[in-house]
Amino acid sequence: MEMEMEMEMEMETESRKSCGAFMEKFTLQPSCSASDELPLNGLTFAVKDIFDVEGHITGFGNPDWAKTHSAATSTAPTVLSLLKAGATCVGKTVMDEMAYSINGENFHYGTPVNPISPDRVPGGSSSGSAVAVGAKLVDFSLGTDTGGSVRVPASYCGIYGIRPSHGVVSTAEVIPMAQSFDTVGWFARDPLILKQVGRVLLQSEPHSVGPTNIIIAEDCFKLQDSNSSQLIETMVNSVQKLYGSTHMIKYASLGDYIKENVPSLKKLMTIGTCSNEESSYIPYSLQDLSTAMRLLQKYEFKENHGEWVSNVKPSLGPGIAERIQDALKTTRDDNIDVCRSVKTELVAALTALLGDSGILAIPTVPGPPPKLRTETTALEGFRAKAFSLLSIAGVSGFCQVSIPLGIQDNLPMSVSLLAKHGSDWFLLNVVEAIHNVLKE
C-alpha cells in the first residue's frame, strides 16, 4: 500500500513538473548520427497524440478510442523527417477529444496548465503541444490545425504557432478530422526555431523577398475585446522601423471585400448565425465564412468517424459530446457543395487582394484566454468571433502565423499574419524580421 502511494505521489509530482502536457513520455533518438550540419541537431520536440508513432497507440484524446485501436505499426512521415534532421522526440501530448475544441480542456486526461495564466485555458486542440513549448519542456512541438488548433493555443500560451498552407506538409499517418482543413503545424518560442522546423517540413523553396504591402483588416481588429488599437499601433511601429516608412501599410474592411468577391456566401446567409449580442459586431460575411467552415468540417468529421462513434458510443466530455452528436446529423444536403464553392472563391479573392508578396494582419483570437471551466454557453459569443477570424485561413488554405506580442495584466497578447497559399517561407521571413524589431 505504501509503495502504491509513493508511486502515485511520484506520478503527481512528475505531472506538475510537466504541466500536465504529456500523455506519455518516451525517447525517439535522431535517426542520423549527430552532426552540426543537421538543421535540428540538439533540439527536442513533442507530438500531439494524433500522430502515429510505431509501437504506441494513437489515442486521439479519448480513452475509448485508445481501447478500440491497436498500436501504430509505423511512424508519421512528419515525425520521421524531424528525427532525420537531428531532433529528439520526447513524448506525446494531451489534446482535446477527437480534435473537436479550441479550449484545451480534456474531461478524461485533465487540462494542461497554461504557463502564462494558470487560471486560464491553454487553448486546443493541440493544448499539450503548446504548453510543452510555452513551459520550456521542449524546443518545439507538432500539432494539427483544422479550425484553429495550433493558432489558438499559440496565442493563449504566448508562443509562436504556424498553420502552414493547406496540403504543403504531409498529413499521412495523422488521424483525420476534416481533410478540407486539416494541416500539420508546429510551435516554438522564437521564430528562428519556427523557421528551422519549416526548413525540414515545408516543400516551398526558401527565399528572402520582402513584403510589398501589409493590409490591416480594421473590421477584424474591432472584434477584439480590448487592445485592438494597441495591436495595430505595434504593427505600424514595427513596419516603420523595418522598412523606414509606413507607406506599404494599407487598411481594409475584409468583411466587405469578402462579401463582394465570394458570391456563394449569399447562399449561406442566416444559416447558423449566432444571435448572441457579442456576435452582432461580426461582419455577416465573416459569420457566413465561419458557417461554411463548420458545416463542411462537421460533414467530413461524420464521414471519417461517424460509424465509430455510433458503434462504440464513447464517453465524451461536456461540449464535445454535443458537438459530435450535432456533426452526426449532417447530410450532404446541408449546403456542402456550396461550402466547397466558397473555398474556391475565397482562394481567388484573397490571392487577388494580397498578390505574390502581400501580408494580411488580423487578431489571432478576439481576446485573452477564457477562464478554466467556463460554461460552454457563456463562451458562445467569444467562439463566434474566434471562428470568424480563424475561418479566413481555414477556408482559404492560406498560411498563418500567430505572433506573441508580450503580456499585459498577466494575459498574453498576439497578432496574426497571413500570406497566400504556398508562401510559407516568405511569411516566416517576415515574422522573423518583425520579431527582431519587437525585441529592440
Please choose, from the candidates 416, 412, 418, 417, the residue with its C-alpha nearest in 3D space to the C-alpha of residue 367.
412
**241 catalytic per annotation:** no
Count of C-beta atoms within a 10 Å radius of residue 436 = 14
Backbone angles phi, psi at 392, to 5 degrees: -60, -55
DSSP, res 262: -
Amino acid identity at 133: V
- The residue assigned the cell 483588416 is 217
Q: Within 10 A of 331 (CB to CB), how many other CB atoms are there?
A: 8
Q: How far apart are CA 369 and CA 156, in angstroms?
A: 5
Q: Which neighbouring-strand residues pair with 251? A: 216
CA-to-CA distance for 261 and 348, rounded, in angstroms? 9
In this structure, are strands 358-362 and 213-217 parallel, antiparallel, or unpaired?
parallel
399-408: strand order across its sheet: 22-28, 88-93, 44-48, 140-145, 183-188, 160-163, 399-408, 411-419, 358-362, 213-217, 249-252
d(CA 366, CA 389): 8
**Catalytic (active site) residue 149:** yes
Residue 265: half-sphere exposure toward Cβ, Cα within 13 Å: 25
Question: Virtual CA dihedral for 287, 365, 146, 260, nearest 10 degrees?
Answer: 30
d(CA 15, CA 10): 9
Q: Please give the sequence-ordered ranges of beta strands (E in DSSP) within 171-233, or none if there are none.
A: 183-188, 213-217
Cell triple for 110: 485533465
Q: Which residue out of 149, 165, 388, 396 is catalytically annotated?
A: 149
Catalytic-residue membership of 423? no
What SS3 state is found at 133? helix
**How many Å apart are CA 112 and CA 410, to the nearest integer?**
18
| Surface-to-core class of residue 208, CB atoms within 10 Å of its CB (0-12 exposed, 13-18 middle, 19+ buried) | exposed
> How many CB atoms are closer than 10 A to CB 127?
36
Annotated catalytic residue: which of 117, 125, 285, 290?
125
Measured distance CA(49)–CA(38) in Å, rounded: 26
Q: Show which residues are catalytic.
A: 48, 125, 149
